[in-house]
């Protein structure tokens, strides 16, 4: 969206060989951090996201407690070595925005009223970034929350759609994000088609928006199945092996 035009589609394929409606390869690993109550490693192509969940635990300082519900915090952070040019460490405007929208994308599914006065803290670290990091982070965090045993209405799944060389495509990588015409990250409860986050950078026509949203929904269903499978595999194996 920001830089000079380069050709992103050649002979009907994207530069990384994908078709328009292909996701990048996904890998999910549950329970990778022993210290956290729940954790998940989520790979989406060249994005590598790690989520750690702590809580419910007593919220400190006490004046930040909510007498009726748990308080959910979400910290999204890109490691300095996660991009080609070293990223300046620490929070910036972008990471504050991504943290906010990501927390809001998960908030509706967490049964916070079960744990008044507590904190549920979600940390997402990007070890490698290649566009779509907020979606990878939300997918990781959703699985980590479930792994922490936090009661949830359902999992949240997330993916971006965009427009490159005038075509609506799924799951933009960094080159496509930088040189494309639009990028629209979406998060949703796939089973009920309930959208919990939708952002847009660039422009879609009404028809492109509708096609993009349909693509995102289909991909979120696929991601949801992968998230569920990863959780089931982890915990059915743990019981079988006599772990906690």
Instruction: Decide if residue 102 touches ligand ADP (CB under 6 A).
Output: no
Minimum CB separation from ligand ADP for residue 169, in Å?
A: 14
| Total number of residues that touch ligand ADP (CB under 6 A) | 14
Nearer Cβ to ligand ADP (152/175): 175
Instruction: Decide if residue 83 touches ligand ADP (CB under 6 A).
Output: yes
What x-and-dash track marks residues 111-140 binding ligand ADP by CB under 6 A?
Answer: ------------------xxxxxx------
Nearer Cβ to ligand ADP (79/117): 79
Minimum CB separation from ligand ADP for residue 125, in Å?
A: 13
Minimum CB separation from ligand ADP for residue 225, in Å?
A: 22
Minimum CB separation from ligand ADP for residue 131, in Å?
A: 4
Nearest to 186 by CA among 167, 201, 206: 201
Nearest to 123 by CA among 153, 88, 148, 86: 148
Nearer Cβ to ligand ADP (51/119): 51
Instruction: Decide if residue 177 touches ligand ADP (CB under 6 A).
Output: yes
Residues that bind ligand ADP (CB under 6 A): 83, 85, 87, 94, 129-134, 174, 177, 183, 185
């Amino acid at each position: 969206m920001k830089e000079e035009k380069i050709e992103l589609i050649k002979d009907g394929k994207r530069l990384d060989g994908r078709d328009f409606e292909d996701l990048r390869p996904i890998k999910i690993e549950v329970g990778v951090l022993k210290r956290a109550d729940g954790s998940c490693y989520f790979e989406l192509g060249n994005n590598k996201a790690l989520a750690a969940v702590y809580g419910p635990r007593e919220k400190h300082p006490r004046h930040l407690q909510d007498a009726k519900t748990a308080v959910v915090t979400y910290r999204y952070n890109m490691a300095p070595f996660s991009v080609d040019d070293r990223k300046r460490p620490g929070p910036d405007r972008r990471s504050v925005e991504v943290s906010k929208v990501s927390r809001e994308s998960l908030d509706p599914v967490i049964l916070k009223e079960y744990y008044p006065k507590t904190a549920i803290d979600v940390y997402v670290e990007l070890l490698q970034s290649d566009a779509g990091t907020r979606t990878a982070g939300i997918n990781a965090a959703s699985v980590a929350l479930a792994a922490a045993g936090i009661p949830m209405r359902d999992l949240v799944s997330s993916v971006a759609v965009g427009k490159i060389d005038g075509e609506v495509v799924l799951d933009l990588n960094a080159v496509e994000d930088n040189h494309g015409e639009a990028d629209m990250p979406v998060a949703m409860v796939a089973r009920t088609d309930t959208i919990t986050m939708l952002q847009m950078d660039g422009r879609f026509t009404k028809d492109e928006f509708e096609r993009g949203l349909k693509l995102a929904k289909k991909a979120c269903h696929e991601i949801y199945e992968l998230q569920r499978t990863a959780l089931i595999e982890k915990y059915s194996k743990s019981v079988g092996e006599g772990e906690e």
